[in-house]
Structure 1
Amino acid sequence: MNKWLRAVCVGAAAAAMLTASAFAANYTNCADSLHEMGLFQGTQNGYDLDRTPTRAEASVMLVRLLGKEAEAKTLTYTAPFTDLKGWEKPYVQYLYSNGLANGTNRTTFNPTGKCTAQMYAVFLLRALGYSDTADFSYANAIETAREQGIYDTGIINVQNFLRDDAAAASYTALSVSPKNSEGTLLDQLVSENAITEANAKSYQNLFSTYAQYRETTAGMDALLHYSVNSEFASPAAVTHDGRTVMQVQTSETTVFDREKNELLTDRKMTLSAPNTSDKQLLTQSYLSDGALYHKLNGSWSAELVTAAEQEGLAAMYGRVPLVCVDSLSQRAGSWTITCADTPNAYTELLWSVESALGDLDEAVRLQPTTVTQSVSGGTIRRQSVSAAFTLDGMTAEPVIISTLDKTGADAVLNAPK
């Protein structure tokens, strides 16, 4: 067997076991945007996105999102908390004076304590003008944040909430309208001179266009049962040092059941290489009850997945989350979205590229991922995903075409046995 084909067959066996967590979420782009607008600062370790945010850091973000940082810095510290180092005091004082934050007891704020997804949801909802005594409760803060469009279930990891998630949620919150307001939170911060027009303008334009995108694809929210057919636009060439060493074609059908949060994918991967017979691999993936199951050569394996990873898998055919969007434009019923990085939602679609290159998590992205979606009647009818990667001298530039096939009662998910 051709040595490249043999290598990719081994890689395909591993890729068939690819899980939703294969790509680590990284919203550095959101942190960069927030930093540009003066809302997010790093540490001596950079943005430090891979650790849990502290209560003090969350307090600073809330004051900034309220547009009150300048006012806070003029305050004299009179709050009863004795465990603050100094830099946190103006922010905690503002929140304490306005009834927006409490300590862990009468004299302790616990500034280095962990800020959970629930706590941060409360802070963001308060920044948007919602009250935890009238509009929501602490217990349902995460659900309310989802309802208000702040927490995208497929993006925010509520079980293991990191500064990465905080950056993504804060960036998204800027695009949302505060309570009883027509403009966005970012518009409000600009009007209050908390952010300069020069720093905000490009994001205001992006948020406005994204709102149109959400409106034109609103039908996807009501689509609970559907199936999608996917394949490469043409066999993807895998090159090594400029020479084509193999071609990869994939054909798959995925059935989605959003009510049960389940999906089932049947795949066929065909590998072609010079001077050898084509090889085919048949696999299945099944998402159910918080686990992702994979079948290869008649054997099943399984791995637990988080709620965010489950939603991310379901989003492989759907609206692109705002935090992944670098730019977007509309023309003749079609949206073109450029993503600075490859969104986690497309992990499963890229499984065959994973097998060819070995490990996409280690691969170098050659160009931004481009997603083109044709929309009719509020529903995405066709989607193409273009990407390019290189690893260890091998390069692949797949274009994956997905088409909506069946909907409603016609899209039946028959659980494998």
Structure 2
Amino acid sequence: MKRFLTILLATLALSAALCVSASASSFDGAARELSTIGMLKGTADGFDLDKAPTRAQAAIMLVRLYGAEERAQGLYSSGRITCPFADVNETAAPYVAWLVDEGLANGITETSFGAAEPCTAKAYTIFLLRALGYQDKEDFTTANAQEFAQSLGLLDTSALTGTFLRDDLVALTYQALGTDMKDGKMYLLEHLIEDCELDVSGARTLTKKIEYYRDINSASSALREGVSAKINLNMEMDVSRIAPGDTQPSGEIERVALACGGDVKLAMKRYPEMALDLTMKADGQEENVKLWLKGDWVYAQTGEASVKMETGEEIWKLLEDSAQKEAGASLLPFVADISKQASGDEAVYTMDMNDAYESLVKDITAQVLEANHVSGSAGGEMDMKGFTIRYTVKGGTLKSVSADTALSMKIDGGEAEGTVMAGMSMDMKMDILSSGSAVKISFPDFSDFEEVIGGADGPTGISGILAS
């Protein structure tokens, strides 16, 4: 039980602090908001988010992102532009004709646009980069377009190895609306309102959300260079179990209080460095865990155990990607609403997350449990009752972040633990002591740390020590 609770605690702490760039479905909320500003048209059956967008549908969206829908239709109706492709219907013809006339799209042959063929993630990413003012060969190439888009804070479409869906198109489009144009003078939605033909009244709610979101990003920008903070996480849980071989709970409910608190430091220099000093309390026991990242090694210390292991390429890539890419609008499609309360030079932004975020947390939880050899599908049987994040900004600088949620889970713990059912509430707070390049980390003497045998899960593995 302790191992399960410790894993769950760490997982939810990670999820609460997440800045995501991964896809999660379904982005129904984002689709509805795009519909209110005329970007996305639904049908009697909804927005068909589980279907692949065609090249013709992507062309229509692109013209709208240029703010040129009325212009394209007018030019086409007057005969000043024509569509050279036989496979494009009259609905899409004005859009494709305008894109071809502007040199923004080509057909797959001289007479075919491939209108009914699915649009790929890479192709739509390139469309978006062009709408943001970036140019092929000058700013990006076909080969690095997805990587370049990710550096701007857009969805990492290179991770979409399956079919590119309308759901993914919605998330990317929504992010793009909150992303700066190449010249840096405006973000895309602002540009569409100021310079194009987008209806201002329909966009007002989304504009406010984006601007509050950008305020939070601006106040948090120094954290990408370094951060020193105190964190505190508390969870209260009612846990019941179905013993192996049984079909019903025993009726006994175990009330558990979990807590994790301590100091966190991260310095993003030429080589990222990190130091964690956390005290974890669970099942009436208290355990201090210290973790450091220095050079090519991760060091961990708890109780009498002191171990080290080589980092490998994965952790370096994760940290370097976090440092190099802009925060951008990556989290926007997961946000239901943002409100602001200001007093003097202090403002508190309250961000309520939507169902897409719940889906993301389910996926992360399932992956972490699987990695820690806990069987079953946690994400499939998790119900989150709201997730709220609060950012306190003073003088334009982020001072604290807090989050709270309530959820229930049902997890198959395997033959040893049976099925674990938990109802819980969680709150987390991070008080930022300093940020930016001024953050410095002092390291202890690691000469007596024992090298891990057999990897992270081996006899002296870090994972085993932290979760045992």
Taking structure 1 as the reference length, the TM-score comes to 0.70
Residues 286, 54 of structure 1: alpha-carbon distance in 2 compared, 3 angstrom cutoff = farther
Q: Does structure 2 retain, via aligned residues, the 8 Å contact 1:176–1:185?
A: yes
Q: CA deviation at 1:387?
A: 1.5
Q: Which whole-Å CA distance do the structure 1 matches of 2:277 and 2:48 have between them?
A: 39
Q: Does structure 2 retain, via aligned residues, the 8 Å contact 1:287–1:310?
A: no
Q: Which residue of 2 aligns with 1:402?
A: 430
Q: Which whole-Å CA distance do the structure 1 matches of 2:291 and 2:92 have between them?
A: 48
Q: Which whole-Å CA distance do the structure 2 matches of 1:413 and 1:32 have between them?
A: 50
| Residue 375 (1) aligns with residue 393 (2) | yes
1:175-199 CA distance string (max 9 Å, x none): 3454668554334444678443332
Q: Does structure 2 retain, via aligned residues, the 8 Å contact 1:249–1:270?
A: yes
- Structure 1 unmatched runs, 5+: 1-5, 273-277
Q: Which whole-Å CA distance do the structure 1 matches of 2:324 and 2:277 have between them?
A: 15
Q: Which residue of 2 aligns with 1:3?
A: none
Residues 189, 94 of structure 1: alpha-carbon distance in 2 compared, 3 angstrom cutoff = same
Alignment of 1:204-243 (within 5 A): 204-220=207-223, 223-232=224-233, 235-239=234-238
Q: Does structure 2 retain, via aligned residues, the 8 Å contact 1:294–1:302?
A: no
Q: Which residue of 1 aligns with 2:67?
A: 67
Q: CA deviation at 1:95?
A: 1.0
Alignment of 1:13-412 (within 5 A): 13=7, 25-26=24-25, 27-42=27-42, 46-49=46-49, 53-73=53-73, 75=76, 78-84=82-88, 87-132=91-136, 137-139=141-143, 141-142=145-146, 145=149, 151-152=152-153, 155-160=155-160, 162=164, 163-176=166-179, 178=181, 184-190=187-193, 194-220=197-223, 223-232=224-233, 235-239=234-238, 245-251=255-261, 253-258=263-268, 260=271, 268-272=279-283, 278-279=284-285, 321-325=331-335, 326-332=337-343, 333-341=346-354, 342=357, 359=378, 362-367=381-386, 369-376=387-394, 378-391=396-409, 394-404=422-432, 408=438, 410-411=440-441
How many corresponding residue pairs? 390
Q: CA deviation at 1:288?
A: 11
Q: Does structure 2 retain, via aligned residues, the 8 Å contact 1:255–1:412?
A: no
1:154-182 CA distance string (max 9 Å, x none): x4443317444432332233234546685
Letter of the structure 2 residue corresponding to residue 225 of structure 1: G
Q: Which residue of 1 aligns with 2:247?
A: none
Q: CA deviation at 1:91?
A: 2.2
Q: CA deviation at 1:34?
A: 0.7
1:349-390 CA distance string (max 9 Å, x none): xx89x99xx9356322212x2222333565433221111212
Q: CA deviation at 1:102?
A: 0.8
1:16-54 CA distance string (max 9 Å, x none): 689989996244332221122221235787545466644
1:56-107 CA distance string (max 9 Å, x none): 3321210111223344445268434344466433322221122110123323
Q: Which whole-Å CA distance do the structure 2 matches of 1:45 and 1:253 have between them?
A: 50
Q: Which whole-Å CA distance do the structure 1 matches of 2:68 and 2:339 have between them?
A: 32
Q: Which whole-Å CA distance do the structure 2 matches of 1:284 and 1:228 have between them?
A: 15
Q: Does structure 1 retain, via aligned residues, the 8 Å contact 2:146–2:157?
A: no
Q: Does structure 1 retain, via aligned residues, the 8 Å contact 2:212–2:338?
A: no
Q: CA deviation at 1:128?
A: 3.4
Letter of the structure 1 residue corresponding to residue 348 of structure 2: W
Q: Which whole-Å CA distance do the structure 1 matches of 2:425 and 2:47 have between them?
A: 31
Q: Does structure 1 retain, via aligned residues, the 8 Å contact 2:36–2:202?
A: yes
- Which protein shows a greater Rg? 2
Letter of the structure 1 residue corresponding to residue 41 of structure 2: Q
Q: Does structure 1 retain, via aligned residues, the 8 Å contact 2:392–2:400?
A: yes
| Residue 10 (1) aligns with residue 4 (2) | yes
1:313-364 CA distance string (max 9 Å, x none): 999x99993334421314342432322234869969xx89x99xx9356322
- Structure 2 unmatched runs, 5+: 241-252, 411-420, 452-468
Letter of the structure 1 residue corresponding to residue 440 of structure 2: D
Taking structure 2 as the reference length, the TM-score comes to 0.63
Q: Does structure 1 retain, via aligned residues, the 8 Å contact 2:408–2:422?
A: yes
Q: Does structure 2 retain, via aligned residues, the 8 Å contact 1:375–1:381?
A: yes
Partner SS, residue 92 of structure 1: helix
